[in-house]
Structure 1
Amino acid sequence: MKIVDLLSPAAIVPNLQATNKKAALEELADAIVGVEKDLDRQEVIGVLQERERLGSTGIGEGVAIPHGKLKDIDKLLISFGRSDSGVEFDSMDGKPARLFFLLLAPEESVGVHLKTLARISKLLKNSAVRRRLLDAPNGEEIYRVIGEEEEKL
């Protein structure tokens, strides 16, 4: 399953305004709720905050992959956000996160959820990909970069 097959261009926030983790999760949740109208915003935010209490999803190198599971969805859902100034996210390396992939999975999913997390991690492990995403001028270009770079995986 490709990231671009799960990510709607409308769920890309090229200029996150958040200055803290809570606000970043809310903005990313708003992006996905804006596309998936049946989602309950508070439920999405609650699931993400609960996952963060278990341990930060800030994986380092300016990347965070907040994720959680919801019982009322039947497919994986993704939103993407980019912060120019960075957001303190309790990342493993102590650096602010600037690139965010939010992933929501059906409660019963295991394999495809983990494979998608691994695919996102692999994509963002490449510093040239991170740089292209940071330099992209808008959401459409971010989507295009993700698609191009994913083809190389």
Structure 2
Amino acid sequence: MNAIEQIVIITELKATGKKEVLRELAAAAVEQHPGLELEGLCAILEEREELGSTGIGDGVAIPHGKVPELAEMVMVFGRSTQGIPFAAQDGRPVHLFFLLLAPAASSTPYLGRLAELARFLRDHQIRARLQQAESREELARILRDEGQEGNHEQG
């Protein structure tokens, strides 16, 4: 996952519902990229969720959207140890959230990044390590090191 230079990390999400978690993730993106507008970003994410949940199962969701104001991709990682109901494909609560925002004109890199994230998160050992990490630094290390390796077991 080295193509995205900065990943914003929320060690423990405060949200308890789907709209709340989308807003919390979006707010973290806005904080790092002040040119973004929170309400507009939330609307983009909610519209995408209406097409179908981005909860891919196994406790993972990858909310995503294209944002006209962006010049480069932005990623926010958020974790909920309690789990958040998110209408995931397997019906289970989501613990690991990867918000991916891309420039409106970006198609191929954006779709490639979504596919890369999905492959990365199929590895049950990586998911377990992300859930058990005790600090922001440990989360950042896992995301950096594991995201660059490319060989991930499914499970």
AA of the residue aligned to 2:59: G
The answer as to 2:53 corresponding to 1:56 is yes
What is residue 28 of structure 1 aligned with on the other side?
25
Give SS of 2:106's match. coil
What is residue 4 of structure 2 aligned with on the other side?
6
What is residue 111 of structure 1 aligned with on the other side?
108
- Report deviation, 1:152: 1.8
The answer as to 2:130 corresponding to 1:133 is yes
2: distance between equivalents of 1:136 and 1:78?
Answer: 19
* Contact preservation (8 Å) 2:35, 2:69: no
Gaps of 5+ in 1: none
The answer as to 2:148 corresponding to 1:151 is yes
Tell me the TM-score normalized by structure 1. 0.94
- Report deviation, 1:8: 2.6
Tell me the TM-score normalized by structure 2. 0.93
- Report deviation, 1:5: 4.3
* Contact preservation (8 Å) 2:2, 2:148: no
- Report deviation, 1:43: 1.0
The answer as to 2:79 corresponding to 1:82 is yes
* Contact preservation (8 Å) 1:74, 1:106: yes
The alignment-based identity, stated in percent, is 41
2: distance between equivalents of 1:106 and 1:151?
Answer: 23
- Report deviation, 1:18: 0.8
AA of the residue aligned to 1:6: I
Give SS of 1:25's match. helix
Gaps of 5+ in 2: 151-155
What is residue 153 of structure 2 aligned with on the other side?
none
What value does the CA root-mean-square deviation take over the aligned residues? 1.1
Give SS of 1:73's match. coil
2: distance between equivalents of 1:136 and 1:4?
Answer: 20
Give SS of 1:6's match. coil
1: distance between equivalents of 2:87 and 2:26?
Answer: 19
* Contact preservation (8 Å) 2:11, 2:79: yes
What is residue 94 of structure 2 aligned with on the other side?
97
1: distance between equivalents of 2:133 and 2:30?
Answer: 24
